[in-house]
Amino acid sequence: MGYKVVVVGATGNVGREMLNILAERHFPVDEIAVLASRKSLGTEVSFGDKTLKTQDLDTFDFTGWDIALFAVGSTATKEYAPKAAATGCVVIDNSSLYRYDPDVPLVVPEVNPEAVEGYAKKNIIANPNCSTAQMVVALKPLHDRAKIKRVVVSTYQSVSGSGKAGIDTLWDETKAIYNPTDNYSSETYPKQIAFNVIPHIDVFMEDGSTKEEWKMVAETKKIVDPAIKVTATCVRVPVFVGHSEAINIEFEDFLDEDEAREILREAPGIMVIDKREDGGYVTPVECVGDFATFISRIRQDSTIDNGLNIWCVSDNLRKGAALNAVQIAETLGARVLKKG
């Protein structure tokens, strides 16, 4: 006996990826429903070798369904997630709405799988921000060995993090630059993204940081350890898919780079590719479509006591969003629901 699964926001980038990953990982689905807003009603999406038509989120009855994977913005989630949860359907939410709610577990299955057991207070589990998810997968096994004091991270985030609008903007701006007769302007980003980088993701906060940077700080503390100090600079780069991060880690105890490399090689969800030669590292283009979080450029930082640098790359539509949500569903099934 398998699960009755709902994918909410099935026509978006993340929703479609959720369907792909459910099929690829052979998640035990007995029945599946795909929901969208009325403007996308009837749009067809793929699930394995099946083609499904979207149903209306506004009128859908979640009663009797086991798990709902939400891939819509916070506004729609605020309206529909509590309705789904109230019927007994467990919501796994990809928006930022519930991440900082103390009654809602924030889960990365390689890091804190036991946290899913706290779902029952609201029948909701939160999926972290894409840039946080890949980073904590790398931090946790190192933290277990040497205890992390402080993390300094600079991100290089792809335009797919802004959804379809971001992908279209990079494509259209690039074409317009090569063909100056094209008259193109975009409201997706505050500055040109083609052949440029923008040190601004989400809104600015009073202390000068952006909301994206604040998310990485708050979520790392909730998922890994509230004692870890984190400072982040988040940058949008002209890459279609795949987020990269340069992470500087300060530990309480010394951790040799060779031992760190072996720890990461053995850690779940991580692939280490770290050769000190031309091309002996992973870039965003190579991570697309892969489940793994890739770690390269592991090396000692001699400017601080007990310091280490790593380069971290992952497909943000997968580990940063859809894959992590499906892994949460798998963990919930194995630990709590126990079907399939």
Q: Which residues are catalytic?
A: 130, 243
Strand order in the sheet with 29-36: 55-56, 29-36, 3-8, 67-70, 90-93, 124-126
Residue 198, classified by CB atoms within 10 Å of its CB into exposed (0-12), middle (13-18) or buried (19+), is middle
CA separation for the pair 88, 94 (Å, rounded): 19
Across 122-265, the runs of DSSP E, i.e. the strands, are: 124-126, 148-157, 229-236, 243-251
Partners of 244 in beta bridges: 156, 313
DSSP structural state of residue 316 = T
Token duo for residue 150? 């402080």
Q: Say what angle helices 323-332 and 13-24 make with each other, to 10 degrees.
A: 50
